[in-house]
């Protein structure tokens, strides 16, 4: 390795270390503040609050069904857009992807009135439906890119053997797409777990709120005790941190799927 290559490598490593410090510093501050005054008693008080288990249950309930519905729709849709030919395919695909350009904030008012018309406010299923709708464009792009990499010869060989289109999908293509589906599953969980704006707008009843509302709830219920508020922030951040630590290889593979042919 020549001198210039070593310098470039050191510069890249230095930038990565500095970026890591910048990213980790808020986490360090959050954990430090959670131990102020009462130490780990802040965590005990947070966990013993009767509303915290409700927030956690609601988050897992919404995330679970959001994942099931999203992955089911995306598996069929990505296969159809990637491997099948039908009228209006490109137009329909572009219309779905246009959803990527719509921030949640721009659609929150129309969504509010739509859900109110269907009794979807303060209702788990209303929130699940809204989260699914906003996740589908990104999930479709992700999984379709993976299907695009799979050779069509696999399908042709299955057709020659007498397989139907559903058999090709379930027995040939779907098993091969497991890495992309796993990646989409992880992103779906993180999106659902971290969702704040829709929960704030659609779930005014604490009985239906998720963990992202816990800090605001504790701020009012506990008289603004910063130690307990930061403790709740640490606790609700743990699942996403654990997911990323254990499944980061799926993130990397999923984001690059379809990028290189």
pLDDT of residue 259: 47
pLDDT in tens, 25-36: 888 888 888 887
pLDDT band at 261 (very low <50, low <70, confident <90, very high): very low
Give the pair of three-digit tokens for residue 28: 């360090």
pLDDT in tens, 213-235: 888 877 766 566 777 888 888 88
Report how far residue 50's alpha carbon sits from residue 54's, in angstroms, rounded to the nearest whole number.
7
pTM: predicted TM-score of the whole model, two decimal places: 0.83
Domain boundaries, the chain: 36-258
pLDDT band at 72 (very low <50, low <70, confident <90, very high): very high
The residue with greater pLDDT, 217 or 120, is: 120
Report how far residue 67's alpha carbon sits from residue 191's, in angstroms, rounded to the nearest whole number.
10
On whether the CB atoms of residues 146 and 258 are closer than 8 A, the answer is yes
> Which of the following CATH numbers is that of domain 36-258: 3.40.50.150, 2.60.40.2380, 3.65.10.10, 1.10.3720.10?
1.10.3720.10
């Amino acid at each position: 390795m020549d001198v210039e290559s070593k310098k470039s490598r050191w510069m890249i490593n230095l930038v990565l270390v500095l970026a890591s410090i910048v990213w980790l510093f808020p986490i360090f501050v959050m954990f430090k503040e959670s131990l102020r005054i009462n130490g780990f008693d802040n965590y005990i008080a947070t966990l013993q609050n009767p509303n915290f288990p409700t927030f956690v249950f609601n988050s897992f309930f919404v995330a679970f069904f959001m994942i099931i519905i999203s992955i089911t729709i995306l598996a069929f849709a990505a296969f159809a857009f990637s491997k099948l030919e039908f009228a209006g395919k490109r137009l329909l695909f572009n219309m779905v992807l246009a959803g990527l350009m719509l921030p949640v904030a721009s659609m929150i008012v129309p969504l509010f009135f739509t859900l109110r018309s269907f009794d979807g406010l303060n209702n788990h299923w209303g929130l699940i439906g809204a989260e699914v709708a906003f996740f589908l464009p990104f999930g479709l792009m992700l999984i379709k890119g993976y299907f695009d990499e799979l050779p069509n010869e696999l399908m042709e060989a299955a057709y020659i053997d007498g397989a139907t289109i559903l058999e090709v999908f379930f027995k040939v293509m779907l098993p091969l797409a497991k890495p992309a589906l796993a990646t989409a599953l992880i992103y779906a969980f993180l999106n659902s777990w971290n969702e704040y704006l829709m929960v704030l707008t659609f779930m005014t009843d604490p009985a239906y709120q998720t963990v992202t509302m816990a800090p605001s709830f504790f701020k009012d219920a506990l008289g603004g005790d910063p130690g307990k508020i930061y403790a709740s922030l640490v606790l609700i951040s743990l699942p996403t941190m654990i997911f990323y630590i254990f499944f980061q290889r799926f993130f990397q593979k999923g984001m690059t799927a379809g990028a290189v042919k």
